[in-house]
Amino acid sequence: MIDKGSYSFSTCWNIKRHTSGAAMIEEIGGLGFRRVELNYNVTADMLAEIEPMIEAGRIGISSVHNVFPYVEDRDYDTDSVMLGFDDAEKRQKAVQLLLRTMEYAHRYGAEAVVVHPGEVPFESNIDAQLKLLYREQGKDSPAYRSLWEAMLERRERLSPVYAGRIRDSLEQVSEVAARKGWNVMIGIETRSRCYQIPTLQEAKLICEGLRGGPVRLWYDIGHAMMMERMGLYSNGEELRELLPYLYGVHIHETLDLSDHWCPYVHSGREDAFDPYLEAIGRAAVRVYELKDKCTAEDIERSHTAIAAKLEQRFRRISDGTESTDRG
């Protein structure tokens, strides 16, 4: 396996196969990665084995994924109202959990904390219902369009309330981090369900409202592909507006509405992932976030393709045949 340089790799790929934190990290190292992102399923017991590896310099930590380490509480799992809770006590607990994650990130020398900031709550999982209709009847079917419009009406009506609370919570976190001298960015991640915050425009408003602080966009490419297919936003022009706020990326590809596949390899298309290369090239932190079905060979082929395409793009920019001006 070739050395992957500054690229990082998320423990989401193999955490279900391991109870030993050391064995999990060693397997990732065997892929050629010298840096990892510790995801939210890393337990305190796993961490007890990983910390000596960090201290010895055997592995570097690019990023830590909130909530970290693992918390067995559904109110604060990956799909939660989180920093936008109506209940002030729940919201304050979410703030404290994020600060705890940031403290770990600071201790490990990580550059960023990845955050699922929140959502517009619905009584049922309307995203799952929409995805089922998308697969069975299609995006243009009357059933899909009707349910989509109902979802969008509630989402657009309530988003300013929840996004505003998220912004206020992030401001509180930013102020504490500044006082403590933590040089850690907060990356608000594009999400995989249509009612979750942020869209690209919501991310722009949150980042602009916290200008001067450590809050940036964490662009999850596979999630963004999925949301565009469902009709929530358009990645092209909207992402260009967010490039000044971009800090990190999760690299993976979506097939239909199934995410965390290896770019170029599982789609079988040589150009399918090309529109997202600019974001990868611009990101300060680049993390592969792949599912366990991706083999070591798949990962190697995917990285080789991405690295080659980015090198070609760099040469075109150097030659003056491609512009870097995206507005």
Quick one: how far is CA 250 from the chain centroid?
A: 5
Alpha-carbon distance 197 to 85, whole Å? 12
Which DSSP category does 16 fall into?
G
Q: Return mean pLDDT, the chain.
A: 95
Note down the domain range covering 35: 8-118+159-319
- 238 within some domain: yes
Q: Which of 129, 120, 131 is nearest to 83 (CA)?
A: 120
Give the pLDDT score at 327. 34
Alpha-carbon distance 301 to 297, whole Å? 6
Q: Which residues are within 8 A (CB) of 321 and not within 5 positions of it... i.e. 6 or more apart?
A: none
Query: How many secondary structure helices (H) and strands (E) does the chain include?
Result: 10, 12
Kindly calculate the radius of gyration of the chain based on its CA atoms and give it in whole angstroms.
19
Paired tokens of 144: 């899909």
- 182 within some domain: yes
Pairing of strands 246-251, 285-288: parallel
The four Cα atoms 265, 258, 295, 20 give a dihedral, to 10 degrees, of: 150
- 125 within some domain: no
Q: Which residues are within 8 A (CB) of 181 and not within 5 positions of it... i.e. 6 or more apart?
A: none
The alpha helices in 124-220, defined as continuous H runs, are 126-136, 142-180, 200-209
Give the pLDDT score at 324. 53
User: In this predicted model, what pLDDT tens digit does every residue of 134-157 receive, in sequence order?
Assistant: 999 999 999 999 999 999 999 999
User: Phi/psi at 271 (nearest 5 deg)?
Assistant: -115, 5
Cβ neighbour number for residue 47 with a 10 Å cutoff = 17
Give the pLDDT score at 269. 83
* Burial category of 70 from C-beta neighbours within 10 Å (exposed 0-12, middle 13-18, buried 19 and up): middle
Quick one: average pLDDT of 69-75?
95
Give the pLDDT score at 326. 39
- 41 within some domain: yes
Amino acid identity of residue 64, one-letter, is V
Alpha-carbon distance 51 to 59, whole Å? 10
Return left, alpha or beta for 82; rule: phi > 0 is left, psi -120 to 50 is alpha, else beta: left
Give the pLDDT score at 318. 65
Quick one: how far is CA 104 from the chain centroid?
A: 18
pTM of the model: 0.95
Residue 7 has pLDDT above 50, yes or no: yes
User: In this predicted model, what pLDDT tens digit does every residue of 279-321 receive, in sequence order?
Assistant: 999 999 999 999 999 999 999 999 999 999 999 887 776 666 6
User: Phi/psi at 197 (nearest 5 deg)?
Assistant: -105, 135
- 113 within some domain: yes
- 255 within some domain: yes
- 18 within some domain: yes
Give the pLDDT score at 320. 65
Contact (Cβ atoms closer than 8 angstroms) between residue 233 and residue 201: yes
With b for 16 or more beta-carbon neighbours within 10 A and e for fewer, the 259-288 pattern comes to bbbbbbbbeeeeebbeebbbbbbbbebbbb
Residue 228 sits in a domain whose CATH number is: 3.20.20.150
The pLDDT confidence band at residue 53, using thresholds 50, 70 and 90, is very high
Residue 13 has pLDDT above 70, yes or no: yes
Domain count, the chain: 1
Helix (H, G, I), strand (E, B) or coil at 278: helix
- 142 within some domain: no
Give the pLDDT score at 70. 97
Give the pLDDT score at 203. 98
Alpha-carbon distance 149 to 64, whole Å? 36
Quick one: average pLDDT of 70-97?
96
Give the pLDDT score at 321. 63
Residue 323 has pLDDT above 90, yes or no: no
User: In this predicted model, what pLDDT tens digit does every residue of 223-275 receive, in sequence order?
Assistant: 999 999 999 999 998 999 999 999 999 999 999 999 999 999 998 888 889 99
Contact (Cβ atoms closer than 8 angstroms) between residue 211 and residue 240: no
User: In this predicted model, what pLDDT tens digit does every residue of 177-219 receive, in sequence order?
Assistant: 999 999 999 999 999 999 999 999 999 999 999 999 999 999 9
Element (H, E) at 104: helix 88-108
